[in-house]
């Protein structure tokens, strides 16, 4: 509530909480963590807290030992605990201690975190099981898929720019578009793994445009005589769509605080190059999982550090 005075946790507890979040980010954020490293410490800490919150929400959503209803309930509990922490209620959870501090420090709208949790729950809507004949997600059009991408990725971008710092409200729709680009890149890269779990995110309209049979993407078909070239036109079409959203990145960079631009540049470059590596391999995302090497990421990190030093 407005005017409420919050008692900050002891500095030792807060440092321990942020250290726990940095550990989670370092272990799991394969792409994001490299961009975190070129941020000032207070902003790096805040992003690690946000990532840790998302990681734990994702873990709940993906817990195969729980029924979908149990996962929904745990996600709601996790969101409620965060809301209470934002309201000043004491907590012993290290992630929430750090997250509440970051939320107050950078004035991040609390409802964005609720949207983050809702985004992780969207995958629980799928009625499909591995091996079924039609593993498609319930997205008829790209506009419907856009809403999914918004909740699982664009909201992350909106949280991030509050930490990066911006004054021009034009940054918000640009951050939203960057999130769409990142999520489309993830969808393209993970087609094989997602189909094996009974999830295919491409809109049905796009699949029909290229006369692709739903059976092509069943887990059984992927194991037996699958020809990657059969999906290449569809993947190329979706990649071009992602490239259009990446254009927002160039417009967003000058709108955020100067000390955060190198981090955003590194993040955009990592994802953009991941997309282009898929294109170089003719969109064969089935033979092996496509990723940037550690050397490639370190090269981008070095360039990001130089950008920061050159400010």
Domain residue limits, the chain: 11-107, 126-311
Is pTM beyond 0.85? Reply is yes
Give the CA distances from residue 10 to residues 14, 84, 98, in Å, rounded to whole numbers and listed in that order. Answer: 6, 18, 12
Query: Going by CATH, does the domain composed of 126-311 fall within 1.10.10.10?
Result: no
Domain pair 11-107 / 126-311, same fold: yes
- Cα separation, 2 vs 111, in Å, equals 15
Instruction: State residue 141's pLDDT score.
Output: 94
Please give the angle made by the CA atoms of 239, 240 and 242, to the nearest 5 degrees: 65
Q: What's 11-107's CATH class?
A: mainly alpha
Please list the ranges in the chain whose pLDDT falls under 50: 1-5, 131
Q: Partners of 166 in the beta sheet? A: 256
Instruction: State residue 95's pLDDT score.
Output: 98
Instruction: State residue 196's pLDDT score.
Output: 74
Instruction: State residue 134's pLDDT score.
Output: 54
Residues 85, 22: contact at Cβ < 8 Å?
A: no
Q: Phi/psi class of residue 291: alpha, beta or left (left: φ > 0; alpha: ψ in -120 to 50)?
A: beta
Give the CA distances from residue 62 to residues 44, 55, 145, 272, in Å, rounded to whole numbers and listed in that order. Answer: 26, 10, 20, 27
Burial class (CB in 10 A: 0-12, 13-18, 19+), 266: buried
């Amino acid at each position: 509530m407005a005017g409420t005075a919050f008692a900050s946790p002891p500095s030792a507890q807060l440092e321990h909480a942020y250290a726990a979040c940095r550990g989670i980010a370092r272990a799991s954020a394969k792409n994001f963590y490299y961009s975190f490293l070129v941020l000032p410490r207070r902003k790096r800490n805040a992003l690690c807290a946000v990532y840790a919150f998302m990681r734990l929400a994702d873990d709940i959503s993906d817990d195969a030992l729980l029924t979908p209803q149990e996962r929904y309930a745990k996600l709601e509990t996790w969101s409620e605990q965060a809301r209470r922490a934002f309201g000043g209620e004491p907590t012993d959870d290290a992630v929430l201690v750090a997250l509440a501090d970051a939320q107050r420090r950078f004035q991040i709208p609390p409802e964005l975190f609720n949207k983050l949790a809702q985004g992780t729950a969207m995958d629980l809507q799928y009625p499909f099981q591995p091996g079924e004949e039609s593993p498609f997600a319930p997205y008829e059009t790209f506009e419907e898929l856009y809403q999914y991408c918004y909740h699982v990725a664009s909201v992350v971008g909106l949280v991030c720019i509050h930490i990066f710092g911006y004054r021009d409200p034009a940054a918000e729709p640009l951050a939203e578009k960057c999130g769409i680009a990142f999520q489309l890149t993830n969808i393209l890269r993970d087609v094989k793994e997602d189909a094996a779990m009974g999830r295919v995110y491409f809109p049905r309209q796009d699949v029909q445009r290229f006369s692709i049979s739903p059976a092509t993407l069943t887990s059984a078909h992927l194991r037996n005589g699958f020809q990657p070239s059969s999906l290449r036109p569809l993947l190329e079409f979706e990649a071009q769509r992602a490239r259009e959203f990446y254009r927002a990145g160039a417009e967003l960079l000058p709108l955020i605080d100067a000390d955060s631009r190198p981090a955003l540049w590194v993040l955009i470059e990592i994802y953009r190059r991941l997309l282009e590596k898929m294109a170089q391999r003719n969109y064969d995302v089935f033979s092996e999982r496509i990723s940037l090497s550690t050397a490639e990421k370190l090269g981008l990190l070095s360039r990001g550090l130089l950008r920061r030093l050159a400010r």
